[in-house]
Amino acid sequence: MFNLILFGPPGSGKGTQSEKLIEKFGFKHLSTGDLLRKEIADQTPLGMEAKSLMDKGQLVPDEVVIGMISGALEANRDASGFLFDGFPRTVAQAEALDRLLELHKTAIGVLIELQVPEEELITRMLKRSKTSGRSDDADEHVQRNRLEIYRRDTMPVAEHYAASAKSVSVEGVGSIDEIFNGICNVIDAKIAKGN
């Protein structure tokens, strides 16, 4: 089993690249953003509570997303590998993920960080807001808030995995296929090394 964290700020292309990676490697895709948006669409109490935080660009509480991931790991025991997208976003989430994977007798193989300059991220999010219907993409103030939270709370997650030499950066600017090739090279090298 090979498990991957696709990491990077909002607008760095994680969703787009995830789709291609799932197709190529057969990963089970676990996006906490998608899972939360489904809760909102289904109008569950969890979704209603998460929506107000998401609309402001704030993180939902760790225990909420950890609970969702724990349930998804249980529900997909026969998966050949997981692609975590938008999770973990705090060191507490990363530590919880490591423990959960250990219970399932597996671990993170690599964290791949997509590197994109900040102004490019803002441009991409504004463009995405025109088709995604995502209210958190449309407002530049909310976007800047999400980037600030990323820098403060989420970037330390890359350092957490760097401590075990599992953190790799990939250029996130260029054509979709160029970026995809960069990611695939990292995964192939890690798999060839047996993690």
Residue placing its CB nearer to ligand AMP in the complex, 134 or 195: 134
152 a catalytic residue: no
Select from 7, 87, 150, 161 the one that contacts ligand AMP (CB under 6 A).
87
Task: Mention every residue, 6+ apart, whose C-beta is less than 8 A from residue 83.
Answer: 3, 4, 6, 18, 21, 22, 25, 27, 28, 29, 30
| φ, ψ for residue 16, nearest 5 deg | -60, -50
Select from 8, 9, 10, 172 the one that contacts ligand AMP (CB under 6 A).
10
Amino acid (one-letter) located at 99: R
Question: Taking CB under 6 A as the rule, which mask of x and - marks residues 130-149 in contact with ligand AMP?
Answer: ------x---------x---
Q: Does 54 bind ligand AMP (CB under 6 A)?
A: yes
Binding to ligand AMP in span 56-85, by CB under 6 A: 57-60, 65
Residue 153 exposure: Cα atoms within 13 Å on the Cβ side: 19
Q: How far is CA 112 from the centre of its chain?
A: 10
Active-site residue identified among 37, 51, 146, 166: 146
14 a catalytic residue: yes
